[in-house]
Amino acid sequence: MNKAFVREPDFDGRVYCPECGSLGVPVTRETLDHHVQKQSRPHLGDTAWFCDYVQCDAGYFDQFERVVAVGELQSTVYPKDPDAPICACFGFTLDDIEDDVQAGTPTQIRELLGKSQSPDANCQMLAADGRCCMREVQRLYTRRAAELRE
């Protein structure tokens, strides 16, 4: 079939990292302004995506395959650095999850859940991917608790 008559698919909002091919997480200008160093910020417009693949050096990228590397961010971010807080709003870390797993009850995670629903949570700006961390925190807790039961 002649490619001249093949219709290009409509853009559905999904953009893949030009470095690793992972599906990007759309972020806002507010997120970019907070995380990207000032000298690197002009490389991206107001629309960009976060690459959450741990082993990829890309932090943010756009549809034109312009990339801001992890080293061009203001500070370390989870999941690129496992020592960085999972919750950028309240400083919750993997160690806090491990403490709850060892205690056998998600006490700190329940406290974080309450905080995450408060006006003090500012996930859209503070989280590298612009999203609330609770889903990831609960996933990590469940996985770690299951590992200990095995």
pLDDT digits 0-9 by tens, 109-150: 999 999 999 999 999 999 999 999 999 999 999 999 999 888
Host H or E run for residue 60: strand 58-61
pLDDT at 4 over 70: no
CA atoms within 13 A on the CB side of 52: 15
CATH 2.20.25.270 fits 14-74, yes or no: yes
Pair type for strands 58-61 and 48-50 = antiparallel
Cβ count near 126 (within 10 Å): 19
pTM of the predicted structure, to 2 decimals = 0.88
Domain boundaries, the chain: 14-74, 79-150
Cβ(90)–Cβ(119) below 8 Å? no
Average pLDDT over residues 96-119: 97
Q: For residues 21 and 61, what is the distance between their CA atoms, to the nearest angstrom?
A: 11
Tokens of 114: 């309450």
Helix, strand, coil % (nearest 5) of the chain? 35, 15, 50
The band of 33, judged by pLDDT with boundaries at 50, 70 and 90, is very high
